[in-house]
């Protein structure tokens, strides 16, 4: 088929056991596109990322990535295909060095490539690169969060899904995350960003979806003039 998007989610349903959280989600992301997923607490944003990456079961044929059906695959399979999910609140190994943490994320890459991938990932985070031989425990909480993102970058993703990367970060590190997203886009990497900092997320993204009570209630380009009004209506359930 012509111009199939990098990620296509179709009529996706998912949840926890018998609790259905997501209802008929349709969403797509083109190669190199930055898309932000907004919505109130409990709307289902994290659940949607988990469903896409294979952490939660989904209905058949609902997730296609890079031209293949990846519905109900494992997160590891998704990562191998180029879809990397940086999970909210994921922890680094505090007794391992920065480099060792990154090598662990690169364990299944060809041996000769691992160190180059680690250097490449660290090039996005100068503050952490300086501490590459120090233990995870010696990094600030924010730097540990950046290291988790770097662990995702080691895999050289074609789509990086970030779940509230700015949560608990200092303003400097929030800006670092946004800079990294812009750099990734420049090199052709697509990003799906869940973020509470709505204005920053919109500034970073080409397109936005709003989720409310497990349904997509808005899709727009971020350049749209009346987007703030549309978002407000969507949040309050009138759109
Ligand atoms: P937040 O911004 O607060 O993280 P969110 O939009 O990411 O919100 P989710 O965390 O995806 O929302 O939660 C969506 C719904 O799924 C909520 O009703 C929540 O209570 C429920 N839920 C989330 N995690 C679980 C779980 N592990 N087991 C059962 N229900 C869950």
31-61 confidence digits (pLDDT tens): 999 999 999 999 999 999 999 999 999 999 9
- CA 153 – CA 147 distance, rounded (Å): 10
| 15 CA distance to ligand 1 middle (Å) | 9
Q: How far is the CA of 221 from the centre of ligand 1 (A)?
A: 26
How far lies 237's CA from each of 43, 70, 219, 234, in Å? 12, 31, 14, 5
Beta strands in 30-94 (DSSP E): 34-38, 63-65, 68-69, 83-86
Global confidence as pTM:
0.94
| Ligand 1 atom at minimal distance to the Cα of residue 194 | 7
Contact 42 CB / ligand 1 (< 6 Å): yes
Does the predicted interface ipTM exceed a cut of 0.85? yes
209 CA → ligand 1 middle, Å: 17
Q: What's the pLDDT band for 114 if we cut at 50, 70, 90?
A: very high
């Amino acid at each position: 088929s012509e111009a199939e998007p990098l990620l296509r989610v179709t009529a996706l349903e998912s949840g926890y056991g018998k609790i259905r959280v997501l209802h008929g989600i349709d969403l797509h992301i083109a190669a190199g596109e930055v898309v932000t997923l907004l919505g109130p607490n409990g709307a289902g944003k994290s659940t949607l990322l988990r469903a896409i990456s294979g952490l939660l079961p989904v209905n058949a044929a609902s997730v296609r990535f890079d031209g293949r059906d990846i519905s109900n695959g494992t997160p590891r399979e998704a990562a191998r295909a180029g879809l990397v999910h940086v999970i909210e609140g994921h922890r680094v190994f505090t007794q391992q060095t920065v480099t060792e943490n990154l090598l662990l994320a690169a364990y299944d890459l060809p041996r000769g490539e691992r160190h180059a991938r680690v250097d490449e990932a660290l090039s996005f985070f100068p503050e952490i690169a300086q501490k590459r031989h120090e233990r995870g425990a010696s990094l600030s909480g924010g730097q540990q969060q950046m290291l988790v993102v770097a662990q995702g970058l080691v895999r050289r993703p074609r789509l990086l899904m970030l779940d509230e990367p700015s949560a608990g970060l200092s303003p400097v590190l929030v800006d670092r995350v946004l800079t990294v997203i812009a750099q990734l886009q420049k090199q052709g990497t697509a990003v799906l960003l869940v973020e509470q900092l709505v204005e920053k997320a919109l500034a970073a993204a080409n397109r936005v979806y709003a989720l409310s009570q497990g349904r997509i209630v808005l899709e727009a380009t971020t350049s749209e003039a009346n987007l703030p009004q549309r978002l407000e209506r969507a949040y309050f359930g009138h759109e």
